[in-house]
Amino acid sequence: MADTERTFVMVKPDGVQRGLIGDVVSRFEDRGLKLVGGKFMQIDQELAEDHYGEHEDKPFFDDLVDFITSGPVFAMVLEGQDAVSQVRTMMGETDPAESAPGTIRGDYGLDLGRNVIHGSDDEDPGANEREISLFFDDDELVDWDQIDETWLYE
């Protein structure tokens, strides 16, 4: 059986401003992913630079940091079987214009710099744990049993 994992996911400022928090969270709940942490928050400059540190040499870095600090975000931790890659698949491609309908970016976005959602990279082992600990203290994550788990997993 595949692994139970936790992944860091965030509705970005454009998604919050457009009233998409509920829709995005619903998609993950419907899929069977379990919310184990959630926080409506404002990202400061330091956290933004840490979170996107891998992109610090890219030409879009300053705009990305400005954007992600420009308004509140909804940060969450989701748990489930292969959660990291399943969330990435549900998100679509980095560029909404290349994302298939049915994916979050393919349904809600048009522009690369306004792509609604962040999810931990599934090609960078450990990115999920690093991002979770950057945004959440251990005591903000909740271990709980969801009643439908016996029907979701074999």
Q: Which residues bind ligand IDP (CB under 6 A)?
A: 55, 60, 64, 94, 112-113, 115, 118, 121
Q: Using CA atoms, how far apart are residues 9 and 77, in angstroms rounded to an integer?
A: 6
Is the Cβ of residue 60 or residue 153 nearer to ligand IDP in the bound state?
60
Q: Examine residue 93 and tell whether it contacts Mg ion (CB under 5 A).
A: no
Q: Using CA atoms, how far apart are residues 52 and 44, in angstroms rounded to an integer?
A: 12
Give the nearest residue (CB) to ligand IDP: 94
Q: Considering the candidates 118, 120, 128, 131, report the single residue annotated as catalytic.
A: 118
Binding mask 110-129 for Mg ion (x = CB under 5 A): -----------x--------
The count of other CB atoms within 10 Å of the CB of residue 117 is: 25
Is the Cβ of residue 108 or residue 128 nearer to Mg ion in the bound state?
128
Is the alpha carbon torsion for 43, 72, 100, 132 positive or negative?
A: positive
Indicate which of Mg ion, ligand IDP, none lies near residue 4 (CB less than 5 to 8 Å, by partner kind): none
Residues 6 or more apart whose CB falls under 8 angstroms from that of 78 comprise: 6, 7, 9, 28, 33, 34, 35, 36, 87
Q: For this structure, is 51 an active site residue? A: no
- List, by residue number, the catalytic residues: 118
Residues that bind Mg ion (CB under 5 A): 121
